[in-house]
Amino acid sequence: MLGQFPGVEAKVRGARGTDRVRTLGVSIGLRLPFFDRNRGAIAVEEATRERLRLEYRARLARAEGDVHRLWTEDRLAQADLRKLREGLPELESAAWDADRAYDSQDLTGPVRLGTVDAYLRSAYDAEDRTQGVLETCVALQTVLGPPPGLSLRALRSAQGRGAGAERSRAP
């Protein structure tokens, strides 16, 4: 960019010969861009800046798309997890009831095992989905940076609160 303006150059040179003669010279140079005004170098610089600007916009658009996709996945996963957790107490109660009915010989073994299996599969699925929600949260924080005030300790306590209800003793 500066190549389009006149350039001024000043030099001072000194020399000493073998016969103890010392010389001192001063030169001043003035570069005047009369003909091309360095337009070629200016065009290259402008094209480089435009390419960098377009690359930045493309990366920004890609990051925005990632954030939107992750946010949507997170909302859907949290809704699924909420529905799954709402049904867990009922399944756990049914598993305990089936266990008691089996002990009193009012229920056959395969029926009891099916009921307990349904509860355990749902509890495992809830844990698995909780892990997925937390991984999506980490992915969002990687792209956006953590929100103010959120620490690893707060994330761990949220994980413990969310999964605690399903960790009761299985029948």
* Mean pLDDT split into 10-residue runs, the chain, 171 residues: 70 86 87 71 89 95 90 90 93 92 90 92 94 89 75 69 47 51
Q: Please tell me the predicted confidence (pLDDT) of residue 164.
A: 44
HEC-encoded secondary structure of 99-160: HHHHHCCCCCHHHHHHHHHHHHHHHHHHHHHHHHHHHHHHHHHHHHCCCCCCCHHHHHHHHH
Dist. CA 123–CA 94, nearest whole Å:
13
Residue among 61, 64, 127, 121 nearest 91 (CA) = 121
Residue 43: the pLDDT is: 85
Tokens of 68: 């939107």
Looking at residue 163, its pLDDT comes to: 45
Residue 20: predicted pLDDT: 80
Going from N- to C-terminal start, the domains of the chain cover 62-167
| Interatomic CA distance for residues 125 and 77, integer angstroms | 12
